[in-house]
């Protein structure tokens, strides 16, 4: 919870810094965002690849376990399609791109901004990127704040599905506490697979 509040605080500080014009031009241009994107992709790969538990996780994978990340991805995309009816100013592809962040706000927002800028302009691309950032931060906060309620009314797997890509890191302690230690492995596997889907699905839908 504390970590998510810090992230939101830094987001608003960044908005104020950018709006005030205090940041140098080299940071605010599109090329800098592209370099940040490359760095994020590198960090994702090294984080997953260097995890000492990865071989153990891969050895214990069973086909039934894959149903949890599959349910998260399919459910999120289904509700994103319904949301596109409400947010009619954005295309279905754009709304699906926002939903495909699965809580991975930093990577998804930069991907959307970079891909959409040539087609809809920098202002609209920035707006959509900001929506993606906020939507995915809210998803993480929801998993952190409502985990006990989710377990009570929807079962122990519910916080994992709501947590999306964050179940490998920020929401994992909450999931262990309320869903039980026996679901730790499923939560980590879920986080890895959903994590890997973000750089695939976000560009796919954003380019539609």
Q: 9 or 157, which is more confident?
A: 157
Task: Tell me the mean pLDDT in the region 137-152.
Answer: 91
Task: Tell me the mean pLDDT in the region 37-51.
Answer: 68
Secondary structure of the chain in the HEC alphabet?
A: CHHHHHHHHHHHHHHHHHHHCCCCHHHHCHHHHHHHHHHHHHHHHHHHHCCCCHHHHHHCCCHHHHHHHHHHHHHHHHHHHHHHHHCCCCCHHHHHHHHCCCCCHHHHHHHHHHHHHHHHCHHHHHHHHHHHHHHHHHHHHHHHHHHHHHHHHHCCCHHHHHHHHHHHCCCHHHHHHHHCHHHHHHHHHHHHHHHHHHHHHHHHHHCC
Q: What is the rounded distance in angstroms from the CA atom of residue 25 to the CA atom of residue 63?
A: 50
The whole-model pTM stands at: 0.77
> In this model, does residue 29 exceed pLDDT 60?
no
Task: Tell me the mean pLDDT in the region 77-92.
Answer: 93
Q: Return the DSSP state at 12.
A: H
pLDDT band of residue 31 (cuts 50, 70, 90) is low
pLDDT number for residue 11: 66
Q: What is the rounded distance in angstroms from the CA atom of residue 152 to the CA atom of residue 155?
A: 6
List of residues 6+ apart from 185 with CB closer than 8 A: 57, 60
pLDDT number for residue 93: 96
């Amino acid at each position: 919870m504390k970590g998510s509040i810090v992230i939101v605080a830094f987001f608003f500080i960044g908005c104020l810094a950018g709006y005030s014009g205090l940041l140098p031009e080299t940071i605010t241009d599109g090329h800098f965002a592209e370099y940040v994107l490359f760095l994020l992709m590198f960090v994702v790969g090294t984080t997953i690849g260097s995890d000492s538990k990865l071989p153990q996780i891969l050895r214990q994978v069973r086909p039934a376990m894959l149903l949890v990340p599959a349910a998260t991805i399919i459910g999120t995309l289904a509700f994103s399609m319904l949301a596109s009816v409400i947010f009619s100013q954005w295309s279905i592809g754009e709304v699906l791109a926002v939903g495909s962040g699965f809580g991975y706000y930093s990577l998804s927002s930069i991907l959307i901004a970079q891909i959409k800028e040539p087609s809809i302009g920098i202002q609209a691309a920035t707006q959509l990127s900001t929506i993606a950032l906020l939507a995915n931060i809210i998803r993480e906060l929801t998993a952190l704040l409502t985990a006990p309620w989710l377990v009570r009314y929807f079962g122990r797997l519910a916080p994992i599905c709501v947590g999306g890509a964050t179940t490998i890191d920020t929401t994992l302690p909450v999931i262990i506490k309320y869903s039980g230690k026996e679901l730790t492995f499923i939560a980590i596997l879920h986080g890895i697979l959903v994590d890997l889907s973000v750089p695939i699905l976000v560009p796919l839908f954003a380019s539609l």
